[in-house]
Amino acid sequence: MKNAHMTLTINGEETEVSFAPYKTLLEVLREDLRLTGTKHGCELGECGACAVLLDGKPVLSCLVLGLECDGREVLTVEGLAEDGRLHPLQETFADMGAAQCGYCTPAILVTARELLDRIPNPSREQVREALSGILCRCTGYHQIFEAVEAAMTCTPLPAAGRARDEPLETEA
Amino acid sequence: MSSGNGTPRDDLKIIGRPRRRVDGRAKVTGQTLFADDLVLPRMLHCKLLRSSLPHARILQIDVSRALAHPGVHLVLTGGDFPIPYGILPVSEDETALCTDVVRFVGDPVAAVVARDEFTAAEAVDLIEVEYETLLTIATPEEALATPEPRIHEHSEKGNIHKLVSLSFGDVDQALKDSYRVFDDTFFYQGSTHLAIEQHATLAAMDPDGKLTVWSSTQTPHYLHRALAKVLETPAAHIRVIACPNGGGFGGKSDPFNHEIVVAGAARILDRPVKICLTREEVFYCHRGRHPVQMSFRTGVDREGNITGMHVRTFLDGGAYGSYGVASTFYTGALQTVTYHVPRYRFQGCRVFTNKPPCGPKRGHGTPQPRFGQEVQLDKIAEALDQDPADLRLRIVEKPDTITANYMTVSTIGLAECIRRVVKRSDWRRKFRQLPEGHGLGLACSSYLSGAGLPIYWNRMPHTGVQLKLDRSGGVTVFCGAIEIGQGSDDVLVACVAEVLGIQPFDIRAVTGDTDLTPVDLGSYSSRVTLMMGNAAIQAAERAREILASAVAAHLKVPRSRLVFADNTVLDSADPDTSVSFQEAVCLAEAASGTVGTVGSYTPPRSAARYKGGGVGPTPTYSYTASVVEVRVDPETGWIDVPRVWIAHDIGRALNPTLVRGQVEGDVYMAVGEALMEEQTFRRLPSRLSPALVHKFPSMLEYKSPTSHDMPEVITDLVEDPDPAGPFGAKEVGQGPLLPVMPAVANAVYDAVGVRVDEIPITPEKILKGLELKRAGRSPRVGPGPFPDIDWPEPLEVPPPWEGGDGKAETPKDVPR
């Protein structure tokens, strides 16, 4: 079986990749591009842990063939931080207990980012709806909802224990 | 949503304050490396062939076609790993690959190692196994009725794996003398952990010829022992690194087939070998909640005080021992630690069936009997015309008590927990007063802050912590504990930071690595915070002493006046006299050489000295009370849980953000078990196959709560520091799960007058109860009579108030 070869934009960077043509986008990301931030919990489109943004829309990367992604834009958790600064969602998730084991976290983060891009002030129901395709077994979801909502204004907690001592940025 | 109401102590700078967890940044940037994220040069991939039959003898395995398949490097079968292992020394009944008999659909038979997963999977399909079918034992009743063929030779008799019979005082007399005796049977269906991370393991030979195994395991120390045994290699030549677990919940606590297989394969091939299980395989690994049938016979006096209790449990163990002996004891261990039970008898029976093995899931063996006990108490309260909250408040066990079965209760905040949920839920105004279809239910629970005894008998500490400080001012803390999402690393670092007066970010944690870190027994039984925390404090206090000596000499102030805070060491009488923390380390290094300390923790000796008394003791119990609100649609039976109030006696919340996450995560998992989660099996039509298969080994069909299903949770933390806990902390990872299921059942009764005496509580069962009610029959849905089991004579242990000393009485002259 000959490898497929294509160019796509990953986290804002044009990237060339060769991969076995049967591979899913999930496998191309994890195995061929070594972007292991994107996780898998079933590889059947059931758990949601592999969500990434494809051309700005959340998709389950285990249900997308790599071959379908030629010339398209993919955003993974590795691309959330910009200019060396974490995205507000990352800050609030880390601060507010929204990541426990951290395994579903990358999928939830990119999905929440798409939600905030689309609806800057989502209601709790809209947050629940947006995240309903991703299972989290640890948190009971509430700290996730709150972290998504807090990211809108990025309400910081006391700085003790913050991984760096600068104040939180707030979204313009 | 209200958060925990942790009240920080002024003199504590880190402990008790909401704080970003130390591994938070790694987790939100996708940089936490789980086992399947690891890639090594020349790495090969492994796939397992699993049995398609539930019970069969292996007559022949032909691997020739698989071996000849291009890209295949190795094919292994049972003969390559003949030495049995198992988590408990009393039931080492597993082999890495089945040697002669397969015992459930999914039991591993052979392994292929190939250049990639795809090739390995292709080759697995080329292996031909010839089986001789054996009788399938599908249900626990069949196991009782079918002594032969035996699924294991080590079972007590026939297919009964374990029988327990313990008696603490004359229960029959107590029941005879009671005002009323309540007899109830309950059933609690099995469920699985469903951690989102599938189990994965990578093994490789080190350049020096030793073996390293990275794995998603909650118990690297026990895996280390199993690997040494099966591979016949000194443990010192094997290094086990527990990667952070993408959720555990007890499902990654056994040494697993795939871990041993890839370790063996890496050694044979001298190349890295990785395996990642599919979701279907994770369902076969299981080790989840045992399905348990229960009988509760409880006597009370006119006021509702319990006079005696006789509990019987019948566990469907699945195909292997796993933690099953401990699980069996746990179904009878903790009934006595919430309410005063003066006389108590427990009989438990675990059987083998041809299904994936059951084991420890969050709450390990205690959610099932807790469900029965708390639902029965609801019935007792109603029969005695008492409010269930008041009844419980009256009979709550007293602090500093040794119970009838010799469990030592030290601090107990249960009454306060009950008062909090009653107040916040407006219980007094709502219970039995809401409109039809709306209801409130209350239940309580207790759990261990760490098992008092290790899995294998030894006199060594349960955990160890090592500290390294040097002239850079940097502190590294080493501990074998494992981060599974619960915040293990954060507790470790926070305890050290607090004692040394530095910031968590100033500390590097090295955890879960058998080469680098002192032994910790693992992330199970809610033991990590209490045990590792105490060891960390001890190590940090010893380091503080070394630093204080050097600083006292340098500043010429008495050691007792020195305070460690805000990255400085200062004279409390003259705060301007100080050195920085880094300077303090330099002074100590100059004065007495390289600075390093250790700490360790061993639980206190238990009061229970009888055989079987090793399961249940703990340094201190946590307590929880919960009120659950339900809405039930009488037309469809659909049940909705809009709100859960929960109060947890935590001793002290070390990081309230994480504590709240544990409480809410417990409630979440409990709601799943209460309403929908079921690990069940079905037989295929016999003309097609004799197989007994998992009904739905997929995440779509195994229903678990989504973000839409999660109720509002109102959490209250009761903080009464416990002398046994680090800074007074008790456990939180498991206890708050326990009261929710019975509270749901009690709320359903309040809403529509239907008693569902089994878990899960589904719309079908509610509808059935409503039909019974309409027909004028008892609106109770649940199991029939408890099965007849030939129990052995109970071990008689007189309770403390009847002159007992924790030991069993010398057996009387019983005819043999």
Residue bearing tokens 């390289």: B594
Q: What distance in Å separates the CA atoms of residue B408 and residue B411, rounded to the nearest whole number? A: 10
Rg (CA), chain B: 27
Q: Tell me which amino acid residue B808 is.
A: A
Q: How many CB atoms lie within 10 A of CB B699?
A: 22
Using 50, 70 and 90 to split pLDDT, how confident is the model at B535? very high
- Averaged pLDDT, B673-699: 91
B516, B497 Cβ separation under 8 angstroms: no
A42 and B279 within 8 Å at the Cβ level: the answer is yes
Using 50, 70 and 90 to split pLDDT, how confident is the model at B206? very high
Any residues with CB less than 8 A from the CB of B360 and at least 6 apart, and which? B250, B253, B287, B322, B323, B326, B327, B524
CATH number (domain holding residue A105): 1.10.150.120
Q: Which two tokens stand for residue B714?
A: 């109102």
Q: Which two tokens stand for residue B152?
A: 């294991």
Q: Is A56 on the interface with B (CB under 8 A)?
A: no
Q: Is the pLDDT of residue B60 over 50?
A: yes
B664 and A140 within 8 Å at the Cβ level: the answer is yes
In a shared domain, residues A105 and A75:
no
Q: What distance in Å separates the CA atoms of residue B592 and residue B551, rounded to the nearest whole number? A: 12
pLDDT at B399: 98
Taking the CA of residue B179 and the nearest CA in chain A, the distance in Å comes to 43
pLDDT at B684: 86
Residue B802, Cα to own-chain centre: how many angstroms?
34
For B440-465, the pLDDT digits (tens) are 999 999 999 999 999 999 999 999 99
What's the total number of domains in chain A? 2
In a domain, A159, yes or no: no
Residues of chain B above pLDDT 70, percent: 98
* Residue spans of chain A under pLDDT 50: 155-172
Q: Which residues of B touch A158 (CB under 8 A)?
A: 17-19
What's the mean pLDDT when you consider all of chain B?
Answer: 96
In a shared domain, residues A48 and A115:
no
Q: Which of A22, A38, A142 sits opposite B1 (nearest CB)?
A: A142
| Domain with A94 in it | 88-153
In a shared domain, residues A74 and A52:
yes
The correct answer on CATH 3.90.180.10 for the domain covering B461-601 is no
Which DSSP state fits B198?
Answer: P
For B762-776, the pLDDT digits (tens) are 999 999 999 999 999
Strand B568-571 with B574-580, pairing: antiparallel
pLDDT at A155: 46
pLDDT at B79: 98
In a domain, A171, yes or no: no
pLDDT at B180: 98
Q: Considering the domain B292-453+608-781, what is its CATH architecture?
A: 2-Layer Sandwich (3.30)
Which DSSP state fits A152?
Answer: H
Q: How many CB atoms lie within 10 A of CB B594?
A: 10
A137 and B194 within 8 Å at the Cβ level: the answer is yes
In a shared domain, residues A59 and A28:
yes
| Nearest CA among A126, A125, A103, A117 for reference residue A152 | A117
Q: Of the residues A20, A55, A79, which one is the last residue of a structural domain? A: A79
Q: Which residues of B touch A105 (CB under 8 A)?
A: 27-28, 30
Give Cα separations from B809 to B342, B585, B605, B805 (angstroms): 18, 57, 20, 9
Q: Which of A43, A101, A158 sits opposite B247 (nearest CB)?
A: A101
In a shared domain, residues A68 and A95:
no
For B572-595, the pLDDT digits (tens) are 999 999 999 999 999 999 999 999
pLDDT at A1: 76
Q: Is the pLDDT of residue B550 over 90?
A: yes
pLDDT at B811: 59
CATH number of B44-134+199-276: 3.90.1170.50
CB interface of A with B, residues 126-145, below 8 Å: 127-129, 131-145
pLDDT at A159: 42
pLDDT at B681: 95
SS3 B420: helix
pLDDT at B453: 95
- Averaged pLDDT, B592-610: 97
- Averaged pLDDT, B798-816: 80
For B242-253, the pLDDT digits (tens) are 999 999 999 999
Domain(s) labelled CATH 3.90.1170.50 in chain B stretch across: 44-134+199-276
Taking the CA of residue B529 and the nearest CA in chain A, the distance in Å comes to 16
CB interface of A with B, residues 13-32, below 8 Å: 20, 22, 30
pLDDT at B744: 98
SS3 B166: strand
Mutate to test the interface with A, among B23, B28, B34 (most CBs of A within 10 A): B28
B557, B571 Cβ separation under 8 angstroms: yes
Q: Which helix (H) or strand (E) holds B308?
A: strand B306-316
In a domain, A160, yes or no: no
A162 and B20 within 8 Å at the Cβ level: the answer is yes
Q: Is the pLDDT of residue B3 over 60?
A: no
Residues of chain B above pLDDT 90, percent: 96
Q: Is A119 on the interface with B (CB under 8 A)?
A: no
Q: Which residues of B touch A146 (CB under 8 A)?
A: 1
In a domain, A148, yes or no: yes
Using 50, 70 and 90 to split pLDDT, how confident is the model at B8? low
Query: Residue B780: what are its φ and ψ, rounded to 5°?
Result: -125, 130
Q: What distance in Å separates the CA atoms of residue B96 and residue B226, rounded to the nearest whole number? A: 10
Q: What distance in Å separates the CA atoms of residue A92 and residue A170, rounded to the nearest whole number? A: 11
Q: Is A90 on the interface with B (CB under 8 A)?
A: yes
Burial of B268 (0-12, 13-18, 19+ CB in 10 A): middle
In a shared domain, residues A44 and A93:
no
Domain(s) labelled CATH 3.30.365.10 in chain B stretch across: 292-453+608-781, 461-601
| Nearest CA among A109, A96, A155 for reference residue B664 | A96
- Averaged pLDDT, B488-511: 98
In a domain, A127, yes or no: yes
Q: Which of B196, B503, B661 sits opposite A97 (nearest CB)?
A: B661
B505 and A143 within 8 Å at the Cβ level: the answer is no
pLDDT at B48: 98
Spatial strand order of the sheet with B795-796 comes to: B758-759, B180-188, B292-300, B306-316, B344-351, B160-168, B795-796
In a shared domain, residues A73 and A95:
no
Q: Which of B33, B484, B503 sits opposite A101 (nearest CB)?
A: B484
In a shared domain, residues A100 and A68:
no
pLDDT at B812: 55
Q: Which of A43, A77, A132 sits opposite B29 (nearest CB)?
A: A77
pLDDT at B686: 82
Sequence-ordered strand ranges (E) for B535-680? 562-565, 568-571, 574-580, 595-601, 621-632, 639-649
Residue bearing tokens 């200019």: A83
Q: Is A40 on the interface with B (CB under 8 A)?
A: yes
CATH number (domain holding residue A32): 3.10.20.30
Q: Which of A37, A129, A139 sits opposite B664 (nearest CB)?
A: A139
- Averaged pLDDT, B275-293: 98
Q: Is the pLDDT of residue B507 over 60?
A: yes
Q: Which residues of B touch A79 (CB under 8 A)?
A: none
In a shared domain, residues A63 and A26:
yes
Q: Which of A81, A109, A139 sits opposite B661 (nearest CB)?
A: A139
Q: Of the residues A21, A52, A79, which one is the last residue of a structural domain? A: A79
In a shared domain, residues A20 and A74:
yes
In a shared domain, residues A9 and A59:
yes
Q: What distance in Å separates the CA atoms of residue B281 and residue B98, rounded to the nearest whole number? A: 16
Taking the CA of residue A9 and the nearest CA in chain B, the distance in Å comes to 19
In a shared domain, residues A104 and A142:
yes
Q: Which residues of A touch B482 (CB under 8 A)?
A: none
